Amino acid sequence: MVIEVPNEGTVSPVQRALAMARARLRHDAGRSGEPFIVHAEGTIGILAGIEADEACQVAAALFAEPDRLPSDEIERAFGPDVAVIVDSMRQVLRLRGLHRRASDASAGEQLETLRRMLLAMASDIRVVLLRLASRLQTLRWHARERSLPEAGISQETLDVLAPLANRLGLWQLKWELEDLAFRFLWPDTYRALARQLEEKRHEREAFVEQAVERVRAALSAAGVAAEVSGRPKHIYSIWNKMRVKQLDLDEIQDLRGLRVIVDDVRACYAALAVVHELWTPQSDDFDDYIARPKPNGYQSLHTVVLADDGRPLEVQIRTHDMHRFAEYGVASHWRYKERSTGLAGQRGDAAQEQRVAWMRQLLAWQREIGAQLGGAAQPAAVVIDASAGAAEAGDGDLAGAVAPKRARPTDGAADAAAARGASPATLSAGTVPSAATDTHIYVLTPQARVIELPVGSTAVDFAYHVHTDLGHRCRGARVDGQMVPLNTALATGQTVEIVVAKSGSGSEGPSRDWLNPQLGYVRSNRARAKVRQWFHTLDLQRDIAAGRERVEKVLQREGRTALSFDELSGRLHQPDASAMFVAVARDEIGPRQLEDAVRGTERGAAPAGDEGALQAVLDRARSHRHAGGDDGVLVVGVDLLMTQLARCCRPVPPDAIAGFVTRGRGVSVHRADCATFARMARDAPERVLETSWGERAAARSGPARGYPAEVEVRATDRPGLLHDVTEVFARDRLNVTAVRTLSKKQTAHMQFTVEVPDVQVLAGALAALRNVQGVFEARRR
């Protein structure tokens, strides 16, 4: 059914929108009991008061009941700009039910996340304005009708919406939202505090207006150019200050306040002198934050004076730069207020603060544009008493009906708006730059818990964020009820449900494909770290089992099955049996080294646990003199001392080396930069021996000897790759004693144990390997 809309040339767009709403909604009301049309008219009046543009006011009449006011018909009648605002508002209303479901244990974090989610979903600032105006209208209507709002509305107002109005600098909306919500939540406290106040709100406001004019005139007479404004404290802010600071009402010094903004610091003190001439200052309540700024950089002069009626009046004096810093910098008013009430998030988010600051600047800019254009066009035939107002239609009714977000208006839409008399600048002014917003998304669990994730996150990231076990068992995902691939990027506002593997089915655990960045399964560092940790644990368990099997075979072969694993690990200088098994499985402890440790005593070796024998080996080694020299240096392979080249670092002449006397295995020779040797030397420095290569090894004379060296090669996998690599070793006549290869995701990982005469030959072989087609890394391990 097509909705009949009055002729465009005879009435304003706002009037046409109200006519469309009346034609379809008639006298229907929301769950609160307020008629939709009454709510729409009241919301439009609030938006007009804060100078929201015409498209925002039109959307206020049309966002209720999406089934009866379809988005496509709204777009045809009023253009894509209005349709975008309506769709976004309907989506934002989903948050209506989320506040009630925030658990007490994480309420503080969830409330801050709800505020962030609202800003993220409202990509147009006018959506935020519409949401705030709609809620204020709801509370006004209930106040007028003397009825209680639906459960949760008032608390959500205090927890989510009023802080947002505060952040955007919409002070008038903020205080009225807070006062009305406070009135409904704690009516007895509200009435008691209201009775204690010596003057009603309008009387306080009247006093402040008179004080502003008096200060402005005095400053003008003194030749000080200044902007003077005043804002009395309201009932909720008074009560909150009494609660937080444990004060009585008569102890509150700033029930009424003025703010003076001048051009420079000199003018600040000149204005202070003028204020002190007008009223008597209270010396105990003066703070010079210009000379002594707060740790966060905040600067201003704060003074409390006694006004003509004998009651305190707080005056803040600052420059324009100080005011701009206080409004948009780290010492902004909303940060101060929310920290004092425990509402601010615990973690900083520079992008979110940039977004809020940009929105506040945008509001001020739109007001300036409106003033230059002579003000926004208002519906001539609609006369609204903003103080009476009406209610938030669809506050609960729209929770389940959310239209998809629409594309932003094109330049053609802007041209069409200009043809209708609207400013193209105003049309696009509400859009927040993506650079300030594309940092996080906000998605929901089936229980309506809000989860904050980096932009581009997938269902796998979501699962790991909720719980590590959920991520490990993730096998599929439903987004808004539809099955999607696990590498589908999520968007703000979506509800995500994870399909998991059955416990004990044998299919638990992540897939190694999730670590492939090209496949896009995992985007967040948190989820990636958890997947890697899973496979690290899996590999460790596999190595422990393989190493244990090798050790048990050696014990059986040597007939030493009574030898405990703990004693054997001590002989091998391992912290425990598990570490020994891993070292054996990874060939960090070789077969000969393991056999010698099992036997316990060998040529030139001290039996395990025999400290006397160990000391004898040390004395013998240190007293040894190499034939042809008198330097007391142990030479590898000389005399009857058993020496062996350590498998952990595989030294090759002419590497700098050092010796370490072991229990049961003679002297183990390490490279001087070996991490294992450094650890053992730190634990037992008395067992370290100065060691060098023999002359034959150093001069490469006499019979050729091969020293085992570990070579690692990484290359793009292809047919014939292994042949080409081993051909390099064959050309250099190097004996390959062991090969391990693994191909994964088109990348070949190869490890070779090669016997080389010295480091120079090894370096030449590595250089030749790097020239093999597809090899991108060749190094000595």
Q: What is the pLDDT of residues 575-596, one digit of tens each?
A: 888 889 988 888 888 888 888 8
Q: Between the ranges 116-130, 156-170, 470-484, where is the mean pLDDT highest?
A: 470-484
C-alpha torsion angle, residues 42, 43, 49, 51 (rounded to 10): -150
- Residue from 101, 194, 190 nearest 151 by CA: 101
pLDDT band for 72, please (50, 70, 90 cuts): confident
Residue 255 predicted with pLDDT over 90? no
- Residue from 594, 585, 460 nearest 514 by CA: 460
- Cα separation, 208 vs 216, in Å, equals 12
pLDDT at residue 599, as a whole number: 82
| Residue 10 buriedness (CB in 10 A; 0-12 / 13-18 / 19+) | exposed
The two beta strands, 688-692 and 634-635, are parallel
% of the chain residues with pLDDT over 70: 69
Cα distances (angstroms) measured from residue 418 to each of 14, 58, 379, 415, 427: 17, 16, 18, 5, 9
Return the bridge partners of 498, or none: 477
- Which residues in 188-207 are b (16+ Cβ under 10 Å) and which e? eebeebeeeeeeeeeebbeb
- The helix (run of H) or strand (run of E) holding residue 325 is helix 320-328
Of 101-105, 231-235, 264-268, which gets the smallest average pLDDT?
101-105
pLDDT band for 261, please (50, 70, 90 cuts): very high
- Residue from 124, 44, 48 nearest 92 by CA: 124
Q: Between the ranges 85-89, 329-333, 474-478, where is the mean pLDDT highest?
A: 474-478
| CB of 247 closer than 8 Å to CB of 239 | no
| CB of 59 closer than 8 Å to CB of 122 | no
- Cα separation, 89 vs 76, in Å, equals 18
Summarize the confidence of residues 752-779 as an average pLDDT.
88
Of 472-476, 637-641, 673-677, 753-757, which gets the smallest average pLDDT?
637-641
pLDDT at residue 228, as a whole number: 94
Cα distances (angstroms) measured from residue 523 to each of 279, 457, 464: 62, 5, 11
Residue 272 predicted with pLDDT over 90? yes
Residue 250 predicted with pLDDT over 90? no
pLDDT at residue 349, as a whole number: 53
- Residue from 165, 91, 112, 162 nearest 363 by CA: 165
Residue 711 predicted with pLDDT over 60? yes
- Residue from 269, 276, 260 nearest 291 by CA: 269
pLDDT at residue 213, as a whole number: 93
Residue 104 predicted with pLDDT over 90? no
Residue 93 predicted with pLDDT over 80? no
Q: Helices 350-372 and 107-121, interaxial angle, to 10°? A: 50
Residue 270 predicted with pLDDT over 90? yes
Residue 85 predicted with pLDDT over 70? yes
Residue 119 predicted with pLDDT over 60? no
pLDDT at residue 32, as a whole number: 78
For the segment 369-380, what is each residue's pLDDT rounded down to a tens digit?
444 444 433 332
pLDDT at residue 201, as a whole number: 62
| CB of 439 closer than 8 Å to CB of 351 | yes
- Cα separation, 97 vs 191, in Å, equals 29
SS3 114: helix
pLDDT at residue 259, as a whole number: 92
Residue 381 predicted with pLDDT over 80? no
Spacing of C-alpha 738 from chain mean position: 47
Return the bridge partners of 259, or none: 229, 316
pLDDT at residue 260, as a whole number: 95
- How many residues are present in the chain? 781
Residue 107 predicted with pLDDT over 70? no
**What residues contact 454, with CB distance under 8 A and at least 6 apart?**
439, 440, 441, 461, 523, 524
Residue 687 predicted with pLDDT over 60? yes
Q: Between the ranges 12-26, 82-96, 423-437, where is the mean pLDDT highest?
A: 12-26
Summarize the confidence of residues 259-279 as an average pLDDT.
94
Which tokens in the block code for residue 282?
């209270």
For the segment 587-635, what is each residue's pLDDT rounded down to a tens digit?
888 888 888 888 874 433 444 445 555 565 566 555 554 443 333 345 5
The per-residue pLDDT of the chain, averaged, comes to: 74
Cα distances (angstroms) measured from residue 569 to each of 573, 581, 588, 681: 6, 9, 13, 18
pLDDT band for 679, please (50, 70, 90 cuts): confident
- Cα separation, 405 vs 383, in Å, equals 33
Which backbone phi and psi does 496 adopt, to 5 degrees?
-115, 130
- Cα separation, 577 vs 554, in Å, equals 15
Which backbone phi and psi does 397 adopt, to 5 degrees?
-70, -25
Write down the residue that tokens 């899996």 correspond to: 538
SS3 251: helix
Residue 700 predicted with pLDDT over 70? no
Residue 264 predicted with pLDDT over 90? yes
- Residue from 756, 733, 728 nearest 653 by CA: 756
Residue 390 predicted with pLDDT over 50? no
For the segment 545-558, what is each residue's pLDDT rounded down to a tens digit?
889 998 988 888 88
| CB of 668 closer than 8 Å to CB of 660 | yes
- The helix (run of H) or strand (run of E) holding residue 304 is strand 301-306
- Residue from 727, 729, 725 nearest 774 by CA: 725
For the segment 273-309, what is each residue's pLDDT rounded down to a tens digit?
999 999 999 877 889 999 988 765 778 999 999 888 8
- Cα separation, 96 vs 125, in Å, equals 18
For the segment 195-242, what is each residue's pLDDT rounded down to a tens digit?
777 655 677 778 888 999 999 999 999 999 999 998 656 788 888 888
Residue 710 predicted with pLDDT over 70? yes
pLDDT at residue 611, as a whole number: 58
% of the chain residues with pLDDT over 90: 14
| CB of 181 closer than 8 Å to CB of 135 | no
Which tokens in the block code for residue 423?
């400013």
Which backbone phi and psi does 666 adopt, to 5 degrees?
70, -145
pLDDT at residue 274, as a whole number: 94
- Cα separation, 762 vs 754, in Å, equals 9
Summarize the confidence of residues 465-474 as an average pLDDT.
88
- Cα separation, 453 vs 491, in Å, equals 10
DSSP 157: I
Of 363-377, 396-410, 515-529, which gets the smallest average pLDDT?
396-410
pLDDT at residue 118, as a whole number: 60
CA geometry: angle 348, 245, 300, nearest 5 deg: 60
State the distance between the two ends of the chain, measured CA to CA, in whole angstroms: 76
